[in-house]
Structure 1
């Protein structure tokens, strides 16, 4: 992408934020939780049909993808932003968050294209009326044992943080790193616009004590939470969901809980997510 293209998309997204009021809803559980799902978990990433599917499941919202492998621009295009806002309204389902999963393939730590996407994601989030942007740090973007890559990420987050602060947008780091390692990155950036996107299953897979980690991070450092299992329904795998609820209550977290994965082998997605939604609501609402 040329510098001219980058400027054009940033300006376009900014104009959309001014021209189209954010879609919002008041569907919040008594405990302050909203239940959503990732678009890539209930269908292909970047599929606008996710809102209709979320409605069938009974979810409050959908965490949507900024872009995809086949369309690097996608939600960076103002006309697509308008289409998403309309689709969410029609389904009476919120746009629950924004995510840049493509960073796993085209890494933020080393590719200039990814740096432009993160900059533009602030404008897109504002246009869509969402607060949190998930930045994925897995596969090609993994920061484990990569001090140079981590330094680049810190420098790039420092560069975008003032823009995010001004827009009221938070960039959430989701990675394999431990809580102390994530806190070190946060402290180096030193901005309220950079927080941790906590995935209870990823942290469990790494062998971390997720309850200790969540208490250590606290609500001031955690921007949003993924409830996930690999190959199991929620509540039937390795993650102790009642203890997750207890811990989130202890730290005072309220906000979005987005379901990811949690489809047993051979079981249909829709059926699995109806069950997952019931399980989560029985524990969190």
Structure 2
């Protein structure tokens, strides 16, 4: 290596040393991932105090609920949206996503009220500056072994998908279904606005090879990811997080990783989530 090559190789380091801010940027590359948590995991669903709690935990954002059992309107009201935006700004915490968990008890596959909720959720997402909406398909909304209910969901998604496409918003299906079953629904709808909201714990519980599923779905079909354990801290249960990281690296996924559950019996939520957040950052950030 000649003198010119040596100076060229040292150039970044010399400039960085003379500029502390640049030095910090060089040594700490920007992560592809943002770390959030579901509002129903760090407090009651639909509670605006989730932003202050997220700040105390050290999260980047909160995935918030469109509505709750006691208030079907909730974030569909512009004044409530403004209140949430103000609370997020005050806490320095981002609104990391939108979810309609109430679909588990008031099913999208059968209750006509839910069509308007999903339709309105696209406008809410736009107003709050988020791109992904989680549609929950568990409990009363479970699609397993329900071809009739699945067809209703396909038809309803077909109706709302053009609006979501125009808005640049994605409707993410989170369910007990396998990757091929999810893809069958996505193909039937035929819209880029419908994707999979991938929960590594749910899929592990179903016995799916989550690493193969992540790779087969790819970043084109996974809109967002839940990192979850039932009854364990993250990294202490069944989900191999380093392997999840490798699979997400392989498909080039970037975006939100929302922590859900992962509170051992008898352990306080706040203590658990501070620990969970540290674990996620040590592996993904």
TM over 0.5: yes
Q: Gaps spanning 5+ residues in structure 2: where?
A: 1-27
User: Which residue matches 1:258?
Assistant: 258
Q: Distance in 2 between matches of 1:46 and 1:269?
A: 17
Gaps of 5+ in 1: 1-27
2:280 corresponds to which residue?
Answer: 280
Q: 1:282 & 1:39 partners in 2: Cα distance? A: 22
- Distance in 1 separating the partners of 2:48 and 2:259: 18
Q: What is the alpha-carbon distance in structure 1 between the residues aligned to residue 29 and residue 89 of structure 2?
A: 19
Q: 1:138 — aligned with what? A: 138
Match of 1:32 in 2: 32
Q: Tell me which residue corresponds to 1:42.
A: 42
- RMSD value, Cα: 0.9
Once the 2 structures are TM-superposed, how far is the Cα of residue 30 of structure 1 from its aligned partner? 2.6
Deviant stretches of 4+, over 2 Å: 28-31
Structure-2 residue corresponding to 1:78: 78
- Within-5 A mapping of 1:22-171: 30-171=30-171
- 2-structure distance, mates of 1:273, 1:139: 26
State how far apart, in whole Å, the 1-side matches of 2:29 and 2:58 are. Answer: 13
Q: Structure 2 CA distance, aligned partners of 1:29 and 1:269? A: 30
For residues 116-136 of structure 1, give each alpha carbon's deviation from its aligned partner in whole angstroms, at most 9, with x where no partner exists. Answer: 100000000000000000000
Question: Secondary structure in 1 aligned to 2:133?
Answer: strand
**What is the distance in 2 between the residues matched to 1:29 and 1:276?**
22
Structure 1 residues 270 and 29, CA, compared in 2 at 3 Å: closer, same or farther? farther
Q: State the shift of 1:283 in Å.
A: 0.2
| Matches of 1:177 and 1:31, distance apart in 2 | 30
1:205 equivalent in structure 2: 205
Q: Which deviations, in whole Å up to 9, do the C-alpha atoms of 1:260-282 show, x marking residues without a partner?
A: 00000000000000000000000
Specify the alignment match of 1:8 in structure 2.
Answer: none
CA distance in structure 2 between the aligned counterparts of 1:142 and 1:232, rounded to whole angstroms: 25
The whole-number CA distance in structure 2 between the counterparts of 1:159 and 1:230 is 35
Q: Using the alignment, how far apart are the partners of 1:116 and 1:107 within structure 2? A: 12
- TM-score using structure 2 length: 0.90
Q: Which of these two proteins has the greater Rg computed from alpha carbons? A: 2
Q: Matched residues in 2 for 1:221 and 1:259: separation?
A: 20
DSSP 3-state at the match of 2:235: coil
Structure 1 residue 31: deviation in Å? 3.1
Residue 11 of structure 2 is matched in structure 1 by none
Partner of 1:41: helix, strand, or coil? helix
The Cα of 1:29 is off from its aligned counterpart by 7.3
For residue 7 of structure 1, what is the aligned residue in structure 2?
none
